[in-house]
Structure 1
């Protein structure tokens, strides 16, 4: 049997039925594409198409932004229940397109967010959250013994997030037509070493609902 004939048979077998690895690769690729189509959840969408999200700018002149709708997120460093509301102290992080805090970015500072009603401290402390609502000004406080001016937000909506780990398929494993049984039939440039086995699966930490 000639190499050309054998190669044609290999191609036909791949065209008529993918390997299990090929289907898995295609599924993971499809999921990654779908995950790229993100939208802001209704709870934190607000009413403005361009809410204020630059905390550093607001911190420089809080009074200029009073009444402006904002969207900030990060990790809850402290929670305190008051008579009719709950005070959240949030270590802010930049947000992605879906309003999720980005764990790979440094904090922009802290703010205070007031939520109407009671929130259970055990459930909220150290959790990731995004809030939306108008900026109402600033208040003086401390971080440890250091004085600090907190931007204040009246929360009209919030969203809690979870941190999970997920497996990511390496890019070289995305070819659904590849079958290791035929790796020697393609001639020069396609011999051993070209896609000869898959790279290790990577694990990454992501923020999700």
Structure 2
């Protein structure tokens, strides 16, 4: 049998591996927002991402205040509770705050352009400022509800043993994934 028949599925599966979207590809410094302020780094080419805190459209540019998160292999912010600090990314043009809403995930590429002092509550905070080359808004993640360990359980027999083991009403319920409705096409 021809060896290329076996090679095609292997190559196709490798091509399906997670890669960053085209605007986010390239070589970037590994410095974090916290470290860039502490070290006073400037002009570094970085790729940072996180959760949008605030969007401020100006006359010529739009600035994003972002709670930084570690990026995964696709350059998408990881959905975790820890943070690498905050940063401000500004890009020329108008980005609608109703689209780029608080809590959405964003990845930005660009060059460090100094710092800006702002307030987080009553605390003075030093933000690294980024002159953005690319702004990438990620689609919303689906809501996953895992009901495998949810009630109702028979308190005397339980979900995995007794006369109902392996099926019936008291069997383990499925995992439910709720995907947000796509916005209608205009």
User: Do the two structures share a fold, i.e. TM-score over 0.5?
Assistant: yes
Tell me by how many angstroms 1:70 deviates. Answer: 0.6
Structure 1 residues 57 and 143: CA distance shift in structure 2, 3 A: same
Q: TM-score, normalised by structure 2?
A: 0.67
Q: Determine which of 30, 38, 43 is the counterpart of 2:18.
A: 38
Q: TM-score, normalised by structure 1?
A: 0.60
Structure 1 residues 74 and 203: CA distance shift in structure 2, 3 A: farther
Q: Determine which of 152, 174, 180 is the counterpart of 1:201.
A: 174
Tell me by how many angstroms 1:146 deviates. Answer: 1.4
| Structure 2 unaligned residues grouped into runs of 5+ | 1-12, 149-164, 180-186
Please tell me whether the aligned partners of residues 52 and 68 of structure 1 are also in contact (alpha carbons under 8 angstroms).
no
Tell me by how many angstroms 1:136 deviates. Answer: 1.1
For residues 53 and 205 of structure 1, the distance between their equivalents in structure 2, rounded to whole angstroms, comes to: 36
Q: Which has the larger radius of gyration?
A: 1
Q: Determine which of 109, 116, 137 is the counterpart of 1:132.
A: 109
For residues 131 and 203 of structure 1, the distance between their equivalents in structure 2, rounded to whole angstroms, comes to: 32
Structure 1 residues 134 and 166: CA distance shift in structure 2, 3 A: same
Tell me by how many angstroms 1:157 deviates. Answer: 0.7
Question: Where has structure 1 moved over 6 Å in runs of 4 or more?
Answer: none
Residue-pair matches, total: 146
Structure 1 residues 199 and 39: CA distance shift in structure 2, 3 A: farther
Q: Does 1:143 align with 2:120?
A: yes
| Structure 1 unaligned residues grouped into runs of 5+ | 1-32, 171-194
* Structure that is richer in helix per residue: 1
For residues 84 and 178 of structure 2, the distance between their equivalents in structure 1, rounded to whole angstroms, comes to: 21
Look up the SS of the partner of 1:139 in the other structure.
strand
Please tell me whether the aligned partners of residues 34 and 86 of structure 2 are also in contact (alpha carbons under 8 angstroms).
no
Tell me by how many angstroms 1:83 deviates. Answer: 1.6
Q: Determine which of 146, 152, 172 is the counterpart of 2:129.
A: 152
Structure 1 residues 39 and 199: CA distance shift in structure 2, 3 A: farther
Question: RMSD value over aligned CA atoms?
Answer: 3.0
